[in-house]
Structure 1
């Protein structure tokens, strides 16, 4: 009988040891996962918020503050966007250049993609007479250092698509954001 009790104690001790090892392993995995997540969070923050040696709780606090700052910036940009929309619509009314009620008459997009050796610009619009303003856009493209080599205009479902392919000598010196801005601005003014 004493042997049975000793054997039972050994089995119970063995079970407890197994449970402890499992718990230890689970905790080790949890700590590793938390470490990975904290590193990811730290890499997402701007450098000036994490410079110097700080604790994980400091980084989490800075991340929370940074999220609030980004929310505030988003709100400010939304307000700015709404004001700009109001200015554009009021300037159209003042000049008598209101857009028609037909939503297909509004320029939908200017998309610029890098292609080998240059850029491809696609302008999608619904304006029937928009082709007459294509020369203004070509001038902007040339001013930005692009040599137009191919231009195709297609009409699909009442929308006009201009696809302009151009070569660029040095893509590193081409400012795509400025080109996009100038084209958008030219299209906005031409309406």
Structure 2
């Protein structure tokens, strides 16, 4: 009987040691997973938010703040989107046309091409009753994007207004054509 108790004690000690080893392994895996997740979170944040901050709790706090900032931006963009939809709908009702499935089709064209030492922008701002002014387009091109306008021609063909603008750009390799195109399209849509 003493031997049975001895064997039972040894087996419980072994089980206890095995349980400790298993718990240690599980905890090690959990810490590794947390480290990977924190690293992923840190890489998702803008660099200016994590600059100089070393602790994980600082990064998590900044991530929570950043999520709130992004939520506010989403709300602002939703308001702008709704405003654009309302403007487009009201302009379509005034003209008696139906609203197209793609609102960007209201802007007939904004075409931007790289040319030597700059860009050529061709804009068809729609019909002659469009309230878009050339000066508003120039503000975007010159003031916001930093281009130097060297040539501008405006033509009216079949009731549509075409602006051809040639401008010089300091560094065309770092110039974002897509951003300029989006700004011009939005400006034309807002002017309707």
TM-score range, shorter-chain basis?
0.5 to 0.7
Match of 1:60 in 2: 60
Greater relative contact order, per chain length (Cα 8 Å cut-off, separation 6+): 2
**1:32 and 2:55 equivalent?**
no
Q: CA RMSD in A?
A: 3.3
CA deviations on 1:11-64 (whole Å, 9 max, x unpaired) are 110011001100110011011101110111111111111111331111111111
Measure, in 1, the Cα distance between the counterparts of 2:103 and 2:82. 19
Q: Which runs of 4+ in 1 moved over 4 A?
A: 170-174, 180-186
Where 1:145 maps in the other structure, the secondary structure is strand
Change (3 A) 1:65 1:28: same
In structure 2, runs of 5+ residues without a counterpart are: 116-171
Is the CA contact 1:41–1:63 (under 8 Å) kept in the aligned structure 2? yes
Change (3 A) 1:81 1:54: same
Measure, in 2, the Cα distance between the counterparts of 1:2 and 1:11. 14
The count of corresponding residues between Structure 1 and Structure 2 is 135
Change (3 A) 1:98 1:172: farther
Residue 177 of structure 1, CA deviation: 3.6
Q: Report the TM-score when normalising by structure 1.
A: 0.56
In structure 1, runs of 5+ residues without a counterpart are: 111-124, 147-169
Q: Report the TM-score when normalising by structure 2.
A: 0.56
